[in-house]
Amino acid sequence: MNTLSSIYVKTEHQKITSVFGGLTSIFEGCEQALSPTLLAKYEGIMTLPPVDGIVMTAIGDTVVIGDKTTLNEGSRDVLLQELKTLKPWRKGPFQLCGIDIDTEWVSSIKWNRILPHLPALTGKKMLDVGCSSGYYMFRMAEHQPAFVLGIDPTLAFYFQYRTLNHFSKINSIGMSPIGIQALKPVQKAFDVIFCMGILYHQKHPLDLLKQLKKMLVPGGSLVLETLIMDQPEGHSYPWVLSPKKTYAMMPNVYYIPTIQALNEWLEIAGFQTCKRAFCEPTTLDEQRKTDWIDSYSLDRFLDPNDASKTIEGYPAPIRAALIAS
């Protein structure tokens, strides 16, 4: 693997481990999991213009980086085309150099729900598992953490993040294009771990929870957000749905627990306390079709005659967040 991007990834890993002290072995051997062909594909797309000086970044519900004056019109047109090549843009929204990136998810809704329940983030070492474009990392950066490491193996999302932070140059955040399984389970490395929208995609959710517990410092917090289901009537023991093929058209959803079952998983994984932050159905305002994705969105994944059910007849998505330590 010797593409420019693989060298970039290695350099980025070195930067992360040197800036984010104490993580020296976390990326050991993980570069083998990267696809040189895919890296080369994205490398061909990336022609980001050099950015002189400081580009103003305003972090709010929309993460605004630069404005129309940051680039000349020609460069902005090129950037627009590159941003479109990086579709699907799932998590946001962003405004970059005056270009509105209206992502499929209005991720500020989740962030604003969870924010009042979070432990203090200032000065903390944090991991965001499945960080996508890095939207939440930007929101975390607002709190002056020691650092936030984001990981996500989907290369389009990695290059989205790289494009955004090419302009914002926030140095308390860093991202690696690897999945959690490829990351060395360095013990007691993080004060806070965010694991949002990940657990139901795991074939072995308990293994993931145990791994995350080990990676937390004693007393550290796991912010766990995931799909849950209501306990079906007439069953007294904690229930877990295991979708047969797809759930809301997603082929890789393995288990959706009730809150009670989720609490039990956390206890088995070694967490001693667990507080519920929120439990809300996903709405069509939060996840919707925009020009920044080419596929369908939630409105097509629900039963057209009964929005309380998915197209497969399962209960429609409800998401809960728990803070466990």
Ligand X SMILES: C[S@@+](CC[C@H](N)C(=O)[O-])C[C@H]1O[C@@H](n2cnc3c(N)ncnc32)[C@H](O)[C@@H]1O
Looking at the Cβ atoms of 71 and 320, the one nearer to ligand X is 320
Looking at the Cβ atoms of 96 and 131, the one nearer to ligand X is 131
- Quote the tokens at residue 53: 């000086």
Looking at the Cβ atoms of 198 and 269, the one nearer to ligand X is 198
Contacts (Cβ under 8 Å, ≥6 apart) of 304: none
Whether omega for the bond prior to residue 218 falls within 30 degrees of 0, making it cis, is no
Q: Which residue has the tokens 């070195």?
A: 14
Looking at the Cβ atoms of 157 and 292, the one nearer to ligand X is 157
Q: Which of 66, 248, 225 is nearest to 136 (CA)?
A: 225
Beta bridge partners of 91: 105
Q: How far is the CB of 233 from ligand X (least distance, A)?
A: 29
Q: How far is the CB of 185 from ligand X (least distance, A)?
A: 13
Q: How far is the CB of 168 from ligand X (least distance, A)?
A: 19
Torsion of CA 244, 247, 249, 252, to 10 degrees: -70
Q: How far is the CB of 149 from ligand X (least distance, A)?
A: 12
Which residues in this chain contact ligand X in the complex, by CB under 6 A? 91, 107, 129-130, 132, 151-154, 157, 179-181, 196-198, 201, 225
Looking at the Cβ atoms of 98 and 315, the one nearer to ligand X is 315
Q: List C-alpha distances in Å: 164 to 36, 66, 86.
A: 22, 10, 12
Q: How far is the CB of 150 from ligand X (least distance, A)?
A: 9
